[in-house]
Amino acid sequence: MTIYDIAEKAGVSASTVSRVVNNKPGIKPETRRKIEALLEQYDYTPNETARGLVKRSSKMIGILIADIRYAHYMDIAFYVEQELSRSGYTCLILNTGITEEGKVNAIRRLAQRQIDGLMLVGSTFQCEAVEQALAQNFPDIPIAMANGYLPLPNVKGVLVDEYNGVMECIKLMQKKNHHKIAFIIPNTTPSNLQKQAGFLQAVREGKAPECADWVYLAPTSLEEGYRVTRQILSEHPDVEGLMFCEDEAAVSGIRALTDAGIQVPEQVQVIGIDNTRYCEICNPKLTALDNMMLEMSMETSRILMESLNGGTSPSKIMLFSRIIERETT
Amino acid sequence: MTIYDIAEKAGVSASTVSRVVNNKPGIKPETRRKIEALLEQYDYTPNETARGLVKRSSKMIGILIADIRYAHYMDIAFYVEQELSRSGYTCLILNTGITEEGKVNAIRRLAQRQIDGLMLVGSTFQCEAVEQALAQNFPDIPIAMANGYLPLPNVKGVLVDEYNGVMECIKLMQKKNHHKIAFIIPNTTPSNLQKQAGFLQAVREGKAPECADWVYLAPTSLEEGYRVTRQILSEHPDVEGLMFCEDEAAVSGIRALTDAGIQVPEQVQVIGIDNTRYCEICNPKLTALDNMMLEMSMETSRILMESLNGGTSPSKIMLFSRIIERETT
DNA sequence: TCTCGTTTTGCAATCGATTGCTAACCTGAT
DNA sequence: ATCAGGTTAGCAATCGATTGCAAAACGAGA
């Protein structure tokens, strides 16, 4: 059912039908009613492809996520999709992987599709290569970044103050007289480097500044969390606290500790970051730094919507994280 | 950069450029090289919207999921997106919610977008309303269902034999002399009703047929899992096994049991379904029925791809689940 | 009844590609 | 030099909408 079919049945031209469909003025009420009846009767829905061609907009939003399986990102994807679809947008979700190549490729693929807006989820997008690719392929459309920022005129970013967040976590452990703390980072995204800086600052100001060297790398996974915890235990049997940059490794870190007969939190405290559902599932329940993913989702989709509607908002929004104390501290 | 811009710079017509872009024959090698150089130089990428209009295909696949946050579905979404994007397809992922209205709406929204194929994830799509909406809006394009099936000529489905899977689970507990078993179902999707049938069958054949009445409803969530477990304990203090239809509730069921001072698995065994990562995180680790989500994802995207390429495959594929024994049985 | 000003409507171009058909161009053979 | 035959390239229509501009229809006042 095209606009022409309807036009023919109504005995008018396609332009008239188009105007009715789009609720434009200047149509005789009677004609409008007649066409509306036909539209209803034949269950007409406009072809968004054709419409997109002339309007140079597609009512589609691209969402780039390194890996949607990471529980944390998934919530953002879900929320954003809900929010945007309410305004008639459809979401193109692409998993880019973590390589720069993957990310740039995804951007190029989206460039073919007249998207109206773009959302980047995760700080891994905060890099030179992505910045260039965006400047080249999307100089005009609104772009919103969740947990990241790039200095381009059309980019807005929502960030969490993880530096201070992690610092507070370390201080929490120190307050309970645990000073020998190891820091476990899954990778060196800008966001994680911020966290590390917070850790270093707190530890240097504390009573066991030698811990500044206790930085370990363990990719996000249960296996790695277990492995790195055992490694830390063997290298520093006197460790009193583990600060993980995400929950998944933290959760199996707890398991590694209890398996080794170590009391949590009496002997070793554990804190994760993200405050995912894993925290409530493990035993003892994991204390975690909540980095405000829900708020971030809301803010990010809000500023994206705002930009899409031509509104203005600050190009950088900072949220503050908070510690959710459970049973591991 | 459009095909016309390139044509002008090359001093040829747009048709010629189009033929080069699409690698069609009948172009003088010299001309082809010249145009290819220009294409490269100006970083031309075809406008998929325009292309979609004339080709009546968009290289887009719709993916309908009730709620992507459910860990289980997320893996499917991830895998399918990966697989399809490799063949140049872009995925439109919509969260439909669980209401029929939401599902039908999502279908109508996709109908505006010339999608080339459709994937439905989850057995909730196996219902009258969806069947009708599909028949009306997508009578032609290939449709693949993960964990579901509808008797339409263009629909293929991949299913898991959950009936026998659950039956085996119950038998596993019975073998260890636990006969008084409660069954917890999050909702009454076709898939869950299958599971329930398996439970009833096993229990009626067993030594405590009165358990056929021990069927409880608890939506997927940690809170509900905890709540329903306490309820079961109070109504049937002699319970010896809990069979959950998914892992999330199961995991907090374990917690409720240990909180109540009950030994798992010595006094009460627990089994979940889905075999998500939660199983490895809780303590003790959860025994679960693996319903082959990865295989299902692979099969579903495989049959969708096959249909897209005009190939044929059986319209119904059955997979067999298997039990992953851990520490709760 | 005629004119003028407003409403309504339609024509035709446009968005960026694809493609059947035709026209122009070569090449070599006569 | 001419012509048949195959190559190569361009014209123009098409996909399904939108929209500026002009034309038609209408209504009211003279």
CATH code, A32: 1.10.260.40
The answer to whether B90 contacts A68, with C-beta atoms less than 8 Å apart, is no
**Measured between beta carbons, which residues in chain B are less than 8 angstroms from residue A278?**
278, 281
**A95–B78: do the CB atoms touch at under 8 Å?**
yes
Does nucleic acid strand D have an atom less than 7 angstroms from the CB of A3?
yes
Please indicate, yes or no, whether residues A203 and A129 belong to a single structural domain of this protein. no
Of the residues A45, A48, A58, the best mutation for testing chain B's interface (the one with the most B CB atoms within 10 Å of its CB) is A48
CB-nearest to B69 from A49, A74, A251 is A74
**A92 and A36 share a domain?**
no
Q: What is the mean pLDDT of residues B237-262?
A: 96
**Does residue A26 approach strand C to less than 7 Å at its CB?**
yes
d(CA B161, CA B147): 10
pTM, whole model, 2 decimals?
0.89
CA atoms within 13 A on the CB side of A132: 8
- A193-202, A279-288, B63-72, B98-107: the lowest-pLDDT one: B63-72
Q: Distance (Å) from CA B222 to C1' D1?
A: 93
Give me the residue from A75, A111, A114 closest to B69, CB to CB. Answer: A75
What is the spatial distance between Cα A184 and Cα A218, in angstroms, rounded to a whole number? Answer: 7
Whether B178 and B268 map to the same domain: the answer is: yes
| Closest-CA residue of chain A to B110 | A90
pLDDT for residue A74: 78
Per the structure, the residue whose CA is closest to nucleotide D14 at C1' is B54
Which pLDDT score is estimated for B71? Answer: 65
Residue B265: cis peptide before it, omega within 30 degrees of 0: yes
Tell me, yes or no, whether B150 and B171 share the same domain. no
List the single best residue of B73, B83, B89, B93 to mutate versus A (max A Cβ within 10 A): B93
Q: Which residue in the set B46, B74, B112 is minimally distant from A46, CB to CB?
A: B112
A170 with A150, same domain: the answer is no
Distance, in Å, from the CA atom of A30 to the CA atom of A284, rounded to the nearest integer, reads: 70
> Domain with B302 in it: what CATH number?
3.40.50.2300
Residues A193 and A102 in one domain: no
Is residue A39 a part of any domain in this protein?
A: yes
Q: Tell me the mean pLDDT in the region B150-159.
A: 96
Residues of chain B in contact with residue A81, where contact means CB-CB under 8 angstroms, are 68, 93-95
Establish whether the CB of A114 is closer than 7 Å to any nucleic acid atom in strand C: no
The three state secondary structure string of B226-259 is HHHHHHHHHHCCCCCEEEECCHHHHHHHHHHHHH
Interface test with A, best of B65, B87, B113 (most A CBs within 10 A): B113
Distance CA B195, CA B203 (A): 12
CA distance A255 to chain B (A): 8
**Record: contact B45-A112, CB cut-off 8 A:** yes
Q: Please check whether residue A262 lies inside any domain of the structure.
A: yes
| A63 and A100, same domain (yes or no) | yes
Is A111 in contact with B46 (Cβ distance < 8 A)? Answer: no
Whether any strand D atom is under 7 angstroms from the Cβ of A42: the reply reads no
Residues of chain B found within 8 Å of residue A327, distances taken between Cβ atoms: none
At residue A71, the pLDDT reads 65
Q: Domains in chain B: how many in total?
A: 3
Question: By mean pLDDT, which of B56-70, B114-128, B304-318 is the weakest?
Answer: B56-70
Give a yes or no: residue B8 inside a domain.
Answer: yes
The answer to whether position A184 is within a domain reads yes
The spacing between the Cα labelled CA in A16 and the C1' in D19, in angstroms, equals 11
Q: Are B325 and B176 in contact (CB under 8 A)?
A: no
Is there a single domain that holds both residue B134 and residue B218?
Answer: no
The stretches in chain A having pLDDT less than 70 are: 71
Q: Strand D: which positions are within 7 A of a protein CB?
A: 7-12, 14-20
**Which tokens in the block code for residue A315?**
């190009």
pLDDT in tens, B188-246: 999 999 999 999 999 999 999 999 999 999 999 999 999 999 999 999 999 999 999 99
Q: Which residue of B has its CA nearest to A52?
A: B49
Residue A29 has what pLDDT? 94
Closest alpha carbon to B94 in B122, B66, B114, B73: B66
Collect all residues of chain B within an 8 Å Cβ-Cβ radius of residue A91: 92-94
Condensed to tens digits (0 to 9), the pLDDT of residues A168-191 reads: 999 999 999 999 999 999 999 999
> How far apart are the C-alpha atoms of A180 and A269, rounded to whole Å?
10
What's B55's DSSP letter? H
**Nearest CB partner across the interface for A281, out of B78, B113, B282:** B282
Count CB-CB contacts under 10 A for residue B73.
22
Which ranges of B42-127 would DSSP assign to H, the alpha helix? 48-55, 71-86, 100-111
Does residue B3 lie within 7 Å of nucleic acid chain C, judged by its CB?
Answer: yes
Q: How many angstroms is C1' of D19 away from CA of A17?
A: 13
Please indicate, yes or no, if residue A244 is contained in any of the structural domains. yes
Amino acid identity, position A218: A
Which nucleotides of strand C lie under 7 Å from a protein CB?
A: 7-12, 14-20
Q: Are residues A169 and A151 in the same domain?
A: no
- For residue B136, being part of any structural domain is answered with yes
What's the CA angle centered on A223, arms A221 and A229, to 5 degrees? Answer: 100
Structure-block tokens of residue B203 = 């229990």
A132 and A168 housed in the same domain: no
Q: Is residue A54 part of a domain?
A: no
Q: Which residues contact B83 (CB under 8 A, 6 or more apart)?
A: B298, B301, B302, B305
A78 and B94 within 8 Å at the Cβ level: the answer is: no
Q: Is residue B329 one of the residues assigned to a domain?
A: no
**A252 to chain B: which residues are within 8 Å by CB?**
280-281
Please tell me the distance from the alpha carbon of residue B64 to that of residue B21, in angstroms, as a whole number.
Answer: 33
Do residue A239 and residue A258 come from a single domain? yes
Residues of B 8-67 whose CB lies less than 7 Å from any atom of strand C: 14-15, 18-19, 21-22, 24, 46-47, 49-51, 53-55
Taking an 8 Å cut-off on Cβ atoms, the answer to whether B68 and A81 are in contact is yes
Is residue B60 classed as helix, strand or coil in its secondary structure? strand
Does at least one atom of strand D sit less than 7 Å from the CB of B12? yes
Whether residues A261 and A312 fall in one domain: no
Dihedral, CA atoms, B222, B227, B233, B236, nearest 10 degrees?
-110
What type of residue is A200?
L
Whether the per-residue pLDDT at B72 is higher than 90: the answer is no
Give residue B8's domain range: 3-46
